[in-house]
Chains A and B, each alone.
Chain A
């Protein structure tokens, strides 16, 4: 068999040589030209056009959506409207879910008392793990169930390519690919999926830029954190619709900040490690098409929200138990958890956070969704137990641990900017096949997260604003 394949190998080499001799640079041109000629011929025979007019609706809509005057304001308004719908619409279902979980919690507590379970166990399992997780669900599920369908409708309608069309010039200026706006849009749903979708960018350099910066778009796993902190600390003085509006503005501001950072990082990288001129760009602008409303809504809200949620819960339980173990194993006279917290605290304080918050981000590496519950468990495990009724009262826990608006702002920024979640890192490795770039995709955001929060903290403290 060896001899046979060696013989074949020779033959193949000869064939390649022959092909190379025969091949000329315009073969492809010839082939494609003749394919198109044939297509045309077929269409002349088999297709008739009774109207000469093209798709008028798409022309008219494009005149608005990509207009020099209205193009950009409309994009901003769209973003704002989606977030407003998400935040305002989620209010009532969120509090309904919260009271439903609270009702169950009553029974859980009853069970613990009947079993004479120790107080600390009840504290950590029920007040920490259960309450944390159920709270994440009540905070996260309704916004997702609104955001995903709304976004999917817009996506199926055909608006996204227009965003890419409008924004391309900006991406070109920073040396990136115009389709990066499409991968960024995917990032609002899930960064891990967005990293995969970067395959639509053909040139490796620009694709790497899209992958390395995707994390600066907050995925829905981080919205819970962002929305709650914004409404607790930034919109605290408002009620009702106004409160949602202020929260929305803060979130839109955060998202815009992330976009600015994306441009900055892309620009710096394309001047340094990923040097090169922008290449290959073709973008198709499909006609606007009315989406299948019910199908789209159901598919995106149910399947997507549920799968994201499942992931969150799957990670929340082990992370909760880890936190519990760390909080209950004593080394010397304090728990491991406190050792870690104390170790991280100086660093945390420097950037306007604290040791607990940094620890929560560390344990939250597998999934951003669990950062807040872990943080709450951490705070609660040190005996600062208070009785909370509903989401609003959670603010008290934060205040008891020395939070100010600056802490909330920094936590939001850190959440926006810090390293990608574990799943995203794995996908980055799969897509780039490079340990080096996976490492940098971790380091770059983390470095920026520390830098930004550090600067803000020092400035605010220096000016005496807190």
Chain B
């Protein structure tokens, strides 16, 4: 199977997608909090599920699941690396 590689925002990921982070377009405390949680460039994030009303979305990052709102997940970018 081929390995896809394309740019994608976390928010646009589908359930089961794996995304390698490249860039966080967020500043201030939120950026620092995201870094602490493991949303660092290079980390691989899995899209887990959407909440019943579509937002927030839960991601698996550094072995834990973290939910982010649309406002943030739209500003986190990576490459889709689904096997």
What residues make up the interface of A, taking CB atoms closer than 8 Å to B?
28-29, 32-33, 36, 54, 59, 62-63, 66-69, 71-72, 165-166, 168-170, 172, 178, 202, 278-286
CB distance A36 to B62 under 8 Å? yes
CB distance A169 to B51 under 8 Å? yes
CB distance B66 to A281 under 8 Å? no
CA distance A278 to B34 in the complex (A): 16
- 8 contacting pairs across A/B (C-beta < 8 A): A32-B40, A36-B43, A59-B48, A68-B50, A169-B56, A280-B29, A280-B30, A281-B67
CB distance A36 to B69 under 8 Å? no
8 shortest A-B CB distances, which residue pairs? Answer: A169-B53, A71-B52, A32-B35, A283-B67, A285-B65, A68-B52, A281-B69, A280-B30
Q: Which of B48-82 contact A (CB under 8 A)?
A: 48-56, 58, 60, 62, 64-69, 71-72
Known: A36-B62, A166-B52, A166-B53. 10 other contacts (CB 8 A): A63-B49, A71-B51, A165-B51, A168-B51, A172-B55, A278-B71, A280-B30, A281-B71, A284-B65, A286-B64
CB distance B53 to A283 under 8 Å? no
Q: Which of B1-57 contact A (CB under 8 A)?
A: 29-38, 40-43, 48-56
User: Chain B: which residue is nearest A173 at the CB level?
Assistant: B53
CB distance A28 to B35 under 8 Å? yes
CB distance A62 to B49 under 8 Å? yes
CB distance A169 to B32 under 8 Å? no
CB distance B55 to A285 under 8 Å? no
Residues of chain B within 8 A (CB-CB) of A36 are: 38, 40, 43, 62
Residues of chain B within 8 A (CB-CB) of A32 are: 32, 35-36, 40
Given the known inter-chain contacts A166-B51, A169-B55, A170-B53, please indicate yes or no for A33 contacting B67, CB distance below 8 A.
Answer: no
Task: Name B's interface SS.
Answer: mixed
CA distance A33 to B35 in the complex (A): 8
Q: How far is the CB of A47 from chain B (nearest CB, A)?
A: 10
CA distance A36 to B21 in the complex (A): 14
CB distance B30 to A279 under 8 Å? yes
User: Chain A: which residue is nearest B35 at the CB level?
Assistant: A32
Residues of chain A within 8 A (CB-CB) of B40 are: 29, 32-33, 36
Most central of B32, B51, B54, B68 by chain A CB within 10 Å:
B51
Q: How far is the CB of B17 from chain A (nearest CB, A)?
A: 15
Most central of A59, A63, A69, A283 by chain B CB within 10 Å:
A283
User: Chain A: which residue is nearest B64 at the CB level?
Assistant: A284
Residues of chain A within 8 A (CB-CB) of B60 are: 54
CA distance A284 to B69 in the complex (A): 12
Residues of chain B within 8 A (CB-CB) of A172 are: 55, 69
Residues of chain A within 8 A (CB-CB) of B52 are: 66-69, 71-72, 166
CA distance A16 to B42 in the complex (A): 32
CB distance B67 to A165 under 8 Å? yes
CA distance A165 to B53 in the complex (A): 10
CA distance A136 to B12 in the complex (A): 55
Given the known inter-chain contacts A33-B42, A165-B67, please indicate yes or no for A283 contacting B29, CB distance below 8 A.
Answer: no
Residues of chain A within 8 A (CB-CB) of B51 are: 66, 71, 165-166, 168-169
User: Chain A: which residue is nearest B53 at the CB level?
Assistant: A169
Q: How far is the CB of B75 from chain A (nearest CB, A)?
A: 13
CA distance A168 to B37 in the complex (A): 19
CB distance B37 to A282 under 8 Å? yes
Q: How far is the CB of B48 from chain A (nearest CB, A)?
A: 8
